[in-house]
Structure 1
């Protein structure tokens, strides 16, 4: 079969594409840009602009089945939900009906309805309703929370599991039913390629419903961490936090996502597992088996990398302030003179050093690139060398102003390599 996977670079789409290839089907990925190293046939499409059925027709030639895996958790531009979740899929489904595509699967979300309380759910629900009323062999799959090692929400949850104490809104009341992305991908492959009649709608859920706190504890157990504590953030500060988080473009925490958590407390976003297991032909993975000890280092890095970056940025900014405003200039100028600097150059060099330190601190805060770390290491090494030659007494200072540069250099080296690795993964 020739199967078009739309949104093939996302978590669900990429795993579905790989699962189709493993089973011997000709899977064609579709996204804005083909990933580096991708072996599958690819259609590079500006999917968000394909909101008319006629625009889809050339891309459906020779296609036997289509799966739409496009989904965003929050809008980066106004009307993104309507455009990507509703208008684009409806145009796609109309084109599939026109050319006679034999099988269509829509990956939606548990809780999606046309009259739901959030724009995310409503936009998904509108596309679902459109597909179900068409003369197509179609299934709407509504997954619960999906776990995958590369998934953004999964990284957040494994990060929380790596901490002995964490706090989260609705931690002990919101119910989720996590499913592993490999299980979900296998279900989607069977729906696309199976010969037995497929359901029109399917709740793709994991083996059991659980609170978010219980889910985090299950991930802890899988990664072989000792038990920890998960505290529930009260409603008022949770809403305030969500409002603030909405200002961050990459944050998945919004007032709408918080509202979806609140509404899940009644169990309405859980389901029986019988239908999923029947299609899968085996038991679902337990949440305790989602992440293993091999994920421990990655889970720690999710929080350790930004914390270390903020600390190093603070160090540079504080040094800039202390050098010019906090420490007596006479003492600083005397040290510069001992390093061989002419007296007339002392004040300008001190000012330039303070400005440079401040600029580095701001760069560390703003620029998340690997190239920012080698210049810092070179500068710290230069400071250390000059002071070692001209002010060696600081090696014996009880506060260790020079000896502390050694662990700082080691930390900067680690940050450099972690940033370089993150860049390659992106």
Structure 2
């Protein structure tokens, strides 16, 4: 029997990628809609087509283009979603206008198996632009394709998720600064369970269209969830620091970083639902999402430690170059060079040449050549330390430890060289 072909848009995102991997593992073939098919890796069972909700919106020409791309597919999954708007990506366009053209095309081809990945909170109580745009698309889909399934996931936890990375980073902190003391209710969901549920629905399509929440088995506060992450990874409990909501609202008005009025409003509303209807539909038993692998927490911590380590080491080299060249008495520096064995005629050249060398090593840490810089730094620090220890031994006993401080610098540089690669581990996997 020929495997079912599924059209998936949003397959390069966190949720869509997990769904795609599960469907392929279960023997389905995929037609993935991506912005640039030429950049995608060749994968068995995957066909790429070009499409973009930002461009293909609600008009007859775009609906015709969607029909061409959907031809021959047995099911459609829309996993496109953004949590923040930008000038080039708005909720209205990506959550409603683009999907509407896709839904109309699917209806014209009489495709009755369509899964819309919506959001928990996109209901009659929706207030934010994010939830309202999702609800608008959901309502349109119910009218166009009554057999469609609309899934409203809660907070989804899993490898590669931006929210998971942020939560893991928070969980590594011994002091947890949380809005309102972290009292907001959440019902986290494992990404593997969501993907497995989608695959199960494709195989055993319900007799009529449904809208169901998808959530994990536990309702917890944000503080409880983060403490659970720590406990399950072997960390001691953290101390909570409650940030007054009045402060958070003041910051949210500026819309800086991940904190804006919409995200704060969604946080205050909570993110909980009834997991039982989804379990009955799919035959799954939702598993706890309150444990992250210890490696996830360590990697989250390293994502901050790596740049901090790099910038601090870079500062040492750059500041040393500036101080030696412009702020410190040249005669003293040249007297040390002379004691180290540098001939009188080369003192100036060695002094300012070493300043340039130090400056270059520091600046290289901000470039793609930073691993090379770490190697040169280790060699340079070891060389400077040995020469000074033998030629100017009195500095070994200096109370400020100008030479002994090279020992931790060597260790930190070696750690940087070991862990601070090309940041490939921080990038998302190639689009699929």
Corresponding position of 1:41: 46
The alignment partner of 2:320 has SS state of: helix
Displacement of 1:136: 4.2
Q: 1:298 to 1:7 in 2, by over 3 A?
A: same
SS of residue in 1 equivalent to 2:201: helix
Distance 1:73 1:321, change over 3 A: farther
Say if 1:403 and 1:221 are closer, same or farther in 2 by CA, change over 3 A: closer
TM alignment of 1:6-155, pairs within 5 A: 6-33=9-36, 35-36=40-41, 38-47=43-52, 48-51=54-57, 52-112=62-122, 116-155=126-165
Contact 2:371 2:421 in 1 (8 A): no
Task: Report the TM-score, using the length of structure 1 for normalisation.
Answer: 0.85
Q: How much has 1:198 moved relative to structure 2?
A: 4.8
- Equivalent pair of 1:323/1:350 in contact (CA under 8 Å): no
Instruction: Give the C-alpha shift of residue 334 in structure 1.
Output: 2.9
| Aligned-partner Cα distance in 1 for 2:92–2:75 | 24
Deviations 1:82-136 (A, max 9, x none): 2222221111111111111121111011112598433322222221121112144
Provide closer, same or farther for how the CA distance between residues 323 and 198 of structure 1 changes in structure 2, counting only shifts above 3 A. Answer: farther
Q: State the SS of the aligned residue for 1:50.
A: coil
Runs (5+) with no aligned partner, structure 2:
none
Q: C-alpha distance in 2, partners of 1:130/1:347?
A: 73
Q: In the alignment, is the contact (CA less than 8 A) between 1:31 and 1:46 conserved in 2?
A: yes
CA contact (8 A) 2:31 2:48 kept: yes
Point out the more displaced range, 53-62 or 19-28: 19-28
Q: Which has the higher contact order (CA 8 A, sep 6+)?
A: 2
Change (3 A) 1:420 1:11: closer
Deviations 1:369-417 (A, max 9, x none): 5x32322431442353255346633683552143334213312212334
The answer to whether the aligner puts 1:284 opposite 2:294 as a matched pair is no
The answer to whether the 8 A contact 1:319-1:357 is kept is no
Shift of 1:199: 4.5
- Assess if the C-alpha contact under 8 Å between 2:174 and 2:239 holds in 1: yes
2:269 pairs with 253, 263, 274, which one? 263
Say yes or no: does 1:411 pair with 2:409: no
Greater Cα shift, 413-422 or 89-98: 413-422
Would you say the 8 A contact 1:71–1:85 is kept in 2? yes
What count of residue pairs does the alignment treat as equivalent?
411
Higher-Rg member (1/2): 2
User: Closer, same or farther in 2 for the Cα pair 1:385/1:295, shift >3 Å?
Assistant: same
Q: 1:142: how far off?
A: 0.9
Partner of 2:396: 396
Tell me the distance in 2 between the aligned counterparts of 1:318 and 1:40. 55
Counterpart CA distance in 2 for 1:301 and 1:81 is: 33
CA distance in 2, matches of 1:31, 1:414: 36
Residues 224-250 of structure 1, C-alpha deviation per residue, up to 9 Å, x if partnerless?
Answer: 32322333222243345556773xxxx
Q: Is the 8 A contact 1:220 1:226 kept in 2?
A: yes
**Which residue number corresponds to residue 383 of structure 2?**
385
Q: Residues 348, 46 of structure 1: CA spacing in aligned structure 2 closer, same or farther, 3 A cutoff?
A: farther
Deviates more, 1:276-285 or 1:140-149: 276-285
The separation in 2 between residues aligned to 1:277 and 1:46, in whole angstroms, is: 33
CA–CA distance in structure 2, aligned partners of residues 350 and 22 of structure 1: 58
CA RMSD of aligned residues (A): 3.0
Distance in 2 (alpha carbons) for counterparts of 1:225 and 1:328: 49
Determine helix, strand or coil for the equivalent of 1:404: helix
C-alpha distance in structure 1 between counterparts of 2:89 and 2:125, whole Å = 17
Change (3 A) 1:413 1:148: same
Gaps of 5+ in 1: none
Looking at structure 2, the residues matched to 79 and 94 of structure 1 have their Cα atoms a distance apart, in angstroms, of: 21
Which piece of structure 1 moves more, 85-94 or 277-286? 277-286
Q: Distance in 1 between matches of 2:372 and 2:427?
A: 15
Q: 2: distance between equivalents of 1:302 and 1:198? A: 46
Farther off after superposition, 110-119 or 225-234: 110-119
Match of 1:272 among 263, 271, 274: 274
Q: Which moved more, 1:279-288 or 1:416-425?
A: 416-425
